[in-house]
Chain A
Amino acid sequence: MRATLLKCSLVVSVTVGVFFALSGSASAQITRYQEDQRLGTESHIGNVTGHAKAAAMDYRRYCVGCHGDDGDGMGANEPWLDPKPRNFTLGQFKCRSTPTGTLPTDEDLFDTIARGLDRSNMPPWNTFTRQQRADLVAYVKHFSPKFQTEKPGTPIQIPPEPEVTADRIKTGQVLFQKLECWKCHGVEGKANGPSADTLQDDQNRPIKPYDFTDGTRPKCGSSDQDIYKIFMTGLDGTPMPSFADNVKPDEAWDLVFYLRTLQPMHSKERQIAKQLGLKPIDPNAPVPEATPAATPAPAPQQ
Chain B
Amino acid sequence: MKTGYKYKLAALFSAFLLLGLGVMILGQKVDAAPPSGGSVAGTVKLDGTAPHERSIDMSKEPSCAKEHASNPVKVESVVVGSNGGLQNVVVYVTQGLSGNEANSTQMQTWDQKGCQYIPHVIALNPGQHFKVVNSDQTSHNIHPQPKNNSEWNKSQPPGSQPFDVTWANPEVAINVKCNIHPWMHGYMAVVKGPYAVSDNSGDFKLEGLAPGSYTLTAWQEEYGTQTQKVTVAAGKPAAVNFTFKAK
Q: Does B155 contact A (CB under 8 A)?
A: yes
**Within 8 Å of chain B (Cβ to Cβ): is A42?**
no
Q: Kindly state whether residue A75 has any CB partner on chain B within 8 Å.
A: no
On chain B, the residues within 8 Å of A101 by CB distance are 150-153
Interchain CB contact (< 8 A) of B151 among A150, A195, A237 = A237
Cβ of B87 under 8 Å from chain A? no
Interface digits, A172-208 against B, CB 8 Å rule (1 contact, 0 not)? 0000001110011000000000110011101000000
Mask, A228-240, CB within 8 Å of B = 1, is 0000001011111
Which B residues touch A100, using CB under 8 A? 152-154
Q: Which of A180, A200, A236 contacts B157 (CB 8 A)?
A: A180
Identify A179's interface contact among B139, B150, B182, CB under 8 A: B139
Residue of B nearest to A197 (CB): B182
Residues of B within 8 A of A198 (CB): 179, 182
Q: How large is the interface on A (under 10, 10 to 19, 20 to 34, 35 or more residues)?
A: 20 to 34
A236 and B153 contact, CB distance less than 8 A: yes
Which A residues lie within 8 Å of B150 (CB)? 101-102, 150
Shortest C-beta distance, A29 to chain B (Å), equals 15
Q: Number of B interface residues, CB 8 Å?
A: 22
B141 & A246 in contact (Cβ 8 Å cutoff): no
A229 to chain B, nearest CB (A): 15
B152: which of A180, A194, A236 is its contact (CB, 8 Å)? A236
Q: Is the CB of A236 within 8 A of B60?
A: no
**In-complex Cβ contact of B155 among A150, A199, A200, A246 (8 A):** A246
Check: B181 CB closer than 8 A to any chain A CB. yes
The answer to whether the Cβ of B143 comes within 8 Å of any Cβ in the partner chain is yes
The answer to whether B139 and A239 have CB atoms under 8 Å apart is no
Pairwise interchain contact B153-A241, C-beta atoms closer than 8 A: yes
Residues of B within 8 A of A184 (CB): 179-180
Flag if A183 contacts B163 (CB, 8 Å): no
B180 touches A245 (CB 8 A): no
Task: Judge if B145 is at the interface, Cβ distance under 8 Å.
Answer: yes
Nearest to A242 among chain B residues (CB) is B154
Is residue B105 contacting chain A, with contact meaning CB distance below 8 A?
Answer: no
> Is B138 an interface residue when CB atoms closer than 8 A count as contact?
yes
Question: B154 and A241: CB pair below 8 A?
Answer: yes
Contact A202–B141 (Cβ < 8 Å)? no
Max chain A C-beta neighbours (<10 A), residue from B143, B155, B161, B182: B155
Interface check B156, CB cutoff 8 A: yes
Q: Which of A81-127 contact B (CB under 8 A)?
A: 92, 99-102
A240 to B143, CA, bound (A): 9
CB within 8 Å for A241 and B160 given contacts A202-B151, A234-B154? no
> What's the nearest-Cβ distance from chain A to residue B53, in Å?
19
Please report the C-alpha to C-alpha distance between residue A180 and residue B60 in the assembled complex, in whole angstroms. Answer: 13
Cβ of A179 and Cβ of B155 under 8 Å apart?
yes
Question: Out of B142, B145, B157, which one reaches A178, CB within 8 Å?
Answer: B157
Chain B nearest CB, measured from A153 CB (Å): 10
- Chain B minimum-CB-distance residue to A238: B153
Please indicate the chain B residues that have their CB under 8 angstroms from the CB of A199 in the complex: 179, 182
Q: Which residues of A contact B181 (CB under 8 A)?
A: 195
- Can you list 17 A-B pairs, Cβ within 8 angstroms, ordered by A? A99-B152, A100-B153, A101-B151, A101-B152, A102-B150, A180-B180, A183-B139, A184-B179, A195-B181, A198-B182, A237-B151, A238-B153, A239-B180, A240-B153, A241-B155, A242-B153, A245-B155
A residues apposed to B, CB below 8 Å: 92, 99-102, 150, 178-180, 183-184, 194-195, 198-200, 202, 234, 236-246
Going nearest first, the 3 A-B pairs with the smallest beta carbon separation are A101-B152, A239-B179, A180-B139
